Amino acid sequence: MTRNLTVGSPMRLILGFALPTLFGLLFQQMYNMVDTMIVGKLLGSMALAAVGATGSINFLVIGFCTGVCSGFAIPVAREMGAEDYSRMRRYVANAAFLAVLFALATTVLTCLFCRTVLTIMQTPSDIYENSLRYIFVIFLGIPATYLYNLLAGILRSLGDSRTPVCFLALSSVLNIALDFLFILHTGMGVAGASVATVVSQAVSGLACLVYVVLRFPVLRMNREERRLNGSICRDLCVMGIPMGLQYSITAIGSIILQSAVNGLGSLCVAAVAAGAKLYMVLACPFEALGTAMATYCGQNVGAGKLERLGHGIRDCALLGVGYAILAAVAMAFFAPACAMLFLDPNEGEIVTLVAMVSRYVRVSTLFFFSLALVNIVRFSIQGMGYSVFAILSGMMEMIARMLTGLLLIPAFGFRAACFASPIAWLCADCFLIPACLYCIRRLYRHRILPGEQPQEYYGRSPGAHALSERLRWPVLRLRRSHS
């Protein structure tokens, strides 16, 4: 049930791992569109606006939860690559303890302050209560979000990228069915849509848990492996918290940018919203490649096969840039037709709106090569164990979007809005590419040679790792003892 990414052609392994993830991401995007259509058609435009008004805060919090779980899974991939299954199970057990703690803390904090946040965001009074009902229930379901994302991350770390897609599909189909049930037959309104989301994710997470227990004997732990370990928890936090903050920091930049776009008028807001939906669908392959690289680099670093890191990043970059060229060519010809998928043909200024959406999408896809590098290099660095760089790259994107929103959009209008994301991607690349080279050189520099003893910073015993052809963690110190 597991897949070893340390042996074989890097391109074939990465592509085989990324394709199931891509199908899951595309399925999720299609589900999101259907879910939005259900709320709009059944409850009306005001209810749709109430749900939309919570989008940025939703992404801020749920993105943090998803990032933390992805970070927790990276040490599992390392120990999987190192074939140290006992230590891998210790990481899984401690990740579960931390996930429960993070879930409880995040749920309490967000539920206590969601009304305050909506007020600070100047949510319109006519949709305020509906927005509050929707986001409050979503925040109550944060433990379900942690459950599914942690288990999905662990499965991917073991090399299984297909099973999380199956449970994601289960969650999506169940969510759509529950939308009709709670909205039509119970009269719960927008709260029904949020309850459907939480219940479907909880069912998916529990089903995933049962599947892991039954089908992955490698994860069955003894009493000692289930014990809480301070050093392992610190390692997990060093990986998970920066990844969670990276998602949140990116969301802050997007909020500021959206505020600047709002000042351009409703037509520009509609064009950016429609263009962003299309862009998110087109960008799914990059996220799938990035997810594959996190597991690939994690396993190969754990196995001490550093020479495969550069080969894997190069092959994955070729795949990403190849798709970026195809997407740019396709949108050069078909952007107007694709834009109509998200627009009402009876709109008063439909011709102008289609032209604006087409310009937005064409500019974005023209710079897709830079987005490909952002995802591939960032996730590769995280897989190597240097998750703090995720925060720094996220800050680069945030600063770029803030400056675009505060300086360029007021001066150049919609044209600047089209270039906001490409500018952020290019700024992140300027940081990530040198950072990736630094990380690889650092890992080579700390390769443990025969006759060397690893002395770990957080006090684990030197016997925890093999003495030959193994790597220390980036947060650990190395003490040499020559015989």
Contact 14, 315 (CB under 8 A): yes
| Token reading at 130 | 């509906």
Q: Is the dihedral of CA 82, 457, 385, 480 positive or negative?
A: negative
pLDDT, residue 189, reads: 79
pLDDT, residue 367, reads: 94
Q: What is the pLDDT along the chain (483 residues), one digit of tens a residue?
A: 566 778 888 888 888 888 888 887 887 777 776 766 677 667 766 676 677 667 778 888 888 998 899 889 888 888 888 888 888 999 999 999 999 999 999 999 999 988 888 887 667 777 788 888 888 999 999 999 999 999 998 998 888 888 888 888 888 888 888 888 888 777 777 888 888 889 988 998 999 999 988 888 888 888 888 888 888 999 899 888 888 887 777 777 777 776 777 677 767 777 777 787 788 889 889 989 998 898 899 888 888 888 899 999 999 999 999 999 999 999 999 988 888 876 667 666 778 878 888 999 999 999 999 999 999 999 899 888 887 787 788 888 888 888 888 888 888 888 888 898 899 999 999 999 999 999 898 888 876 433 333 333 333 333 333 323 333 434 333 333 333
First to last CA, the chain: 41
pLDDT, residue 37, reads: 67
pLDDT, residue 478, reads: 32
Q: Does 465 map to a domain?
A: no
The residue segments making up the domain with residue 253 are 10-447
Cα-based distances in Å from 250 to 72, 86, 161, 255, 421:
20, 36, 26, 9, 11
Q: Does 472 map to a domain?
A: no
**DSSP for 428-483?**
HHHHHHHHHHHHHHHHHHTEEPTT-----TT---GGGS-SSSEE--TTS-------
pLDDT, residue 40, reads: 66
Contact 196, 155 (CB under 8 A): no
Q: Does 133 map to a domain?
A: yes
pLDDT, residue 451, reads: 35
Q: Does 473 map to a domain?
A: no
Q: Does 457 map to a domain?
A: no
Number of domains, the chain: 1
pTM: 0.76
Q: Does 155 map to a domain?
A: yes
